[in-house]
Structure 1
Amino acid sequence: MSTTTTIAGDTTGVPRFVSTAAGRGRITFVRVLHAEWIKLRSLRSTLWVLATAVFLVIALGLLVTSGTVDRWPNMSTGERERFSAPNASLTGLYLAQLAIGVLGVLVVTGEYATGSIRATMSAVPHRLPVLWAKTAVFATVTFVLMLATCLVAFVTGQAVLAKEHIDVSLGDSGVPRVVVGVAVYLAVTGVLAIGIGAIVRNAAGGIAIVFGLLLVLPEVVRALPSDWQERITKYLPSEAGQALSRWHQTEGVLSPGAGITVFALYAVGALAVAAVLLGRRDT
């Protein structure tokens, strides 16, 4: 939009056109966030992967709680003591983390694969705001969606467990931490995946690393001598992060606060490396 005006001191008397839209195209972090939100919800893979994560959390929770109810009369005293009602209904966490990890990697590597990252970096030449915006948008979407999913999985799972009167309520001690903790863990998993994706810039490589950290590394550590296992296992990404979502706290593991802090440091470390490389490498 332009308006016609006469500039003071101008002896020509010729009207000048001054744009009132000047400055409206200035790059702000809010606009970068909005652009990343549009990208995320426009991808078909986003809908399918997030839908898969939702299904896994709810379906596996129902499967495990139903199996527990069937087996409960024949369970030993030790098994009953170790049983965690809230964790049983949220067992889908173990597979949902893989779905979130895959999508987190694809959020970054998809642009490199198509070449659209060049347009993104041309629009935001400082680069780092793009990484921060991708992280913030994906972490927020993951947390909000997974928190709602965990609440549904918890309620439906406890309804199944109520048949044997072994259910718990959301108001019981430690239960809210478990439900929210699963959502937090999955959100941080997404942040870690984005960092890894930005480092390797390759979908297959990034997904392999995420799977390796969350699934393969714990199995490798279990092959070590028992005293090494005790020292190392609690500091592994998945083991540390899931401390926040465990109802029963046992010896030899990190506290909920310490555990999620260690896991967050893994994610922040990956983002820091990605940020450094993003500034040094060509798109």
Structure 2
Amino acid sequence: MVPPTSTGGYTTGRRMSSNHVRIGLLGCIRSEIIKLVSLASTWWLMGLTVLLPPVLTALSVFVMKMTISLDSPSDMVKGQPTSLDWANIWTLIGGTATTVDLVVGIFGIMAITSEFSTGAIVSSLVVNPKCSLFMHAKGLSLFIFSYLAALLGLLCSWLVALVMVSGQKVTALPDSKAYGPWVIVLGVPLILAVLSLLALGLGAICRSTSGGICAYLGIFMFLSTVVGIISTISKQAKWVNSVTVCLPDSALVSFAGAGIQESGGGGSGSEGLFNPAWWQSGLILLAWAAFFYLLGLLVFKRRDIS
């Protein structure tokens, strides 16, 4: 016999089975992807993530070509470079990450703050009451979008650079740096996607778009400025220089360069100061992202959403 409901009716088989539905990670990810696709901000920000690298690369290569073409004969005699160098070009391509990281940061912040600003967070948690599952699904969705957009952008940058230097003499990368292009094309999008998770954590902590963006800019700009001022004022605190290279902005620059312009392998630099290699900088960025993501998850789980 079908049990009666509190209103005097009877629960149908469909309603009875819905009470036992288990929400899985894949279903949550699919739901979050649908949400992201429906947001206009996603298309704008991911469009910028794709377009900025090739545009910045084109401008940089153009300036490089103009500089070389304007070299005077006396400069050439003194040993100044008179041809393009793939080491410099790849460094420029990787350097676009320092601009794109702001875009993916805003994307990660808005992915969670838009839920709070519209009140959609309540219905989202009614459907999926597990806060951890909700955050992980949103984070994986962000990671997929950010990685694919950044990957496409860097591939376009490489193609733009290839077209712009075609027919010209370009010094090839040395064999010892042959890994560099792979790190830049595949690794930099990976790190940018990781930074979107850092931004997601900040958005969960601040719950407002403006607050999250200010916090993100503070970590990537203001923090290094403060540490630099301390290093300048206190000449005795040379250890501050080791702290500076571990900040997110410095670590991103180091990783995006893929060690193409470096001769050492990281570790202790001059005066025993820590000077991370490009791969160590990548691990540092992973640590920063993990810290803020987990902190955001903790705050999200413990704070009342109303």
Where in structure 2 are there 5+ consecutive unaligned residues?
3-11, 270-274
Shift of 1:264: 0.7
Partner of 1:107: 111
Contact 1:89 1:158 in 2 (8 A): no
Give the unaligned 5+ runs of structure 1: 1-5, 8-16
The change in CA–CA distance for 1:81 and 1:220 in structure 2 (over 3 A counts) is farther
1:51-200 pair list within 5 angstroms: 51-73=47-69, 74=71, 84-162=88-166, 164-166=168-170, 168=172, 172-200=178-206
Partners of 1:59 and 1:18 in 2: CA distance: 58
Bigger shift: residues 154-163 or 75-84: 75-84
2:252 pairs, out of 234, 237, 241, with: 241
Q: TM-score, normalised by structure 1?
A: 0.84
2:265 equivalent to 1:254: no
* Structure 1 position 163, deviation (Å): 5.1
AA aligned opposite 2:292: A
Residue 198 of structure 1 aligns to a residue whose secondary structure is helix
Name the CA distance, whole Å, in 2 between partners of 1:178 and 1:197: 28
Letter paired with 2:46: L
Rounded Cα–Cα distance in structure 2 between residues aligned with 1:275 and 1:126? 11
- Matches of 1:267 and 1:78 in 2, distance apart? 41
Say if 1:151 and 1:21 are closer, same or farther in 2 by CA, change over 3 A.
farther
Partner of 1:12: none
SS at match of 2:165: helix
User: Do the aligned partners of 1:57 and 1:150 also contact (CA within 8 Å) in 2?
Assistant: yes
Distance 1:89 1:260, change over 3 A: closer
Contact 1:241 1:262 survives alignment (8 Å): no
Residue-by-residue CA offset, 1:27-80 (whole Å, 9 max, x unaligned):
111111111111111100000111112221110110001110110242785788
Cα distance in 2 for residues equivalent to 1:184 and 1:116? 29
Conservation of the 8 A alpha-carbon contact between 1:65 and 1:89: no
Task: Provide the rounded CA distance (Å) in 2 between the counterparts of 1:209 and 1:239.
Answer: 17
SS in 1 for 2:17: coil
Deviation at 1:173, TM superposition (A): 3.8
Mapped contact 1:142–1:186 kept (Cα < 8 A): yes
Change (3 A) 1:241 1:94: closer
Q: How many residues align?
A: 269
Conserved 8 A contact 1:86-1:168? no
DSSP 3-state at the match of 1:249 = coil
Q: CA deviation at 1:140?
A: 1.4
Map 1:222-241 onto structure 2 (within 5 A).
Answer: 222-223=228-229, 224-225=231-232, 227-241=238-252
Q: Distance in 1 between matches of 2:185 and 2:86?
A: 18
1:214 — aligned with what? Answer: 220
Whether the 8 Å contact between 2:98 and 2:252 is mirrored in structure 1 is: no
In 1, Cα distance between equivalents of 2:211 and 2:79: 45
Task: Judge which range, 29-38 or 154-163, deviates more.
Answer: 154-163
- Partner Cα distance (2:222, 2:244) in 1: 12
